[in-house]
Structure 1
């Protein structure tokens, strides 16, 4: 299968998207999947092949993500409408708490990739988990560079401690057949994506899955990190069916509007919190704190509680900032309207 010979089902089309179209749209427009986002246009895949179409004035590159479904007018080659997403990964845009930065859309599984090296970091992995849960995407842990560790199982144990219900796969990304361990989440109509820091083997695994020569670069001996990594999001066909959205390594993951995703990531703490004596318990010195009791009994890691508190506080701050900016924008808009009415009234005298 090549991108020029696919069906809508091959591309991931489902009833979630079909039910969004009315009868007129079914006749007039062509559904297409966004495979790349550029400054003023997008690359798309459809049953008719590949194309690049301009973004309408109502949409900017920040409003659309790789993996999105759109409706295209085949006669004018115009993008007519962006369909609602069934899942997405997003974060707060750098320097702008009012704006959501889309990473990928309509993904069926996300491979959260880390390695058996000093790069392994529980706090960062919990952030990735929160992103996946908040966006409605099932996560899968992928542990690479097992050939660099004397005891890879200890890293798997650390993964299970932060995501006991999350499937975990351990492999050497450069070993023959390594990508086969990821096949259960791939297949016709399925879309997967990688999340993780640069240099953990994402591009190597992406190359093995797609058969493409995606740039990975040499590895420095001092810290075993790849020098060259993916710098843009693109959607590639997987050998044997399905699609992969390769993403650049992300050093900063600013969370906003993700309280539910965070609580799902720390589900054992969130569930215990409901048993505390006080509804506003900070899980510190208050009496009858169910979370502190669990820590005392060794059922909860105290460090994990602190990371949960930190993420909740960060999310609350950014979400409040976002709401305040929206409130200010509405107030400014009302002020401008009021000023315009007063000006028009003076002119009418």
Structure 2
């Protein structure tokens, strides 16, 4: 193990001390700093099944550089297609972030097992690009390129160590007047800026499963330019988690979130956007009553709103099933691609 408790992040506290905080109730609650994005560097790429994947890297002001995969159909100019931010889940996997959503070779066996179990073996971000979007699948604070150096080289052993280390990181966040969710949100807002430099101008979307769904909710609440959200297996009333469903990651356990906006509140902060929520009826991580309550709250909030709420239930345990993946793609297509084509035809 690395003797440094926060390997690779020696400048973390200094960065938080010198970087302005974002204004607004949610940003203050989570402790979100203004995102920093350095020069974007494009690295190697590959084409598979008609989708070009290009590795991007950029500095974020402290710690390791962030990185992500820019994905689009090989036969299109990415700057002509609406952008979607594809946000990976938590899943207890820290060695890799975005790659679990991207069709790239060389993934560790336990990551492939995770994809097979929770995402029907599909590379969700690559499939979205194949559907016609310009997609950025980024890493974030604590994951992938932004993981802490724990002095463990084996990917599976690193993940085991990182699951324990996360508790230390969460305590440090509290001492630094921020939170795990706030640190991740700042990175995600920076990634959104990177996406906008590569996709068509205008509305963008965000998609995520499980912890990635929570990330999508937060980035959408902080940036009203996100006009379409697809959130899967990350919606319920937080009060319903007690006492039987409290074993979530620190991404969900921010003091004040349950009594403040709650998860439904994040989704309805702008009812002019389109929101899809996918629910797993047999989700072992969320109580059915809490999911049903959230579903009803969202339906009521959007009933007379200009935006659209779509509720999709699948009879499955906690997973981003093929059926929910297709529903999310259809939702984003209607919100972004079809609307973009219609607006272009009116010019």
Question: TM-score scaled to structure 2, two decimals?
Answer: 0.27
Bigger relative contact order, structure 1 or 2 (CA pairs below 8 A, ≥6 apart): 2
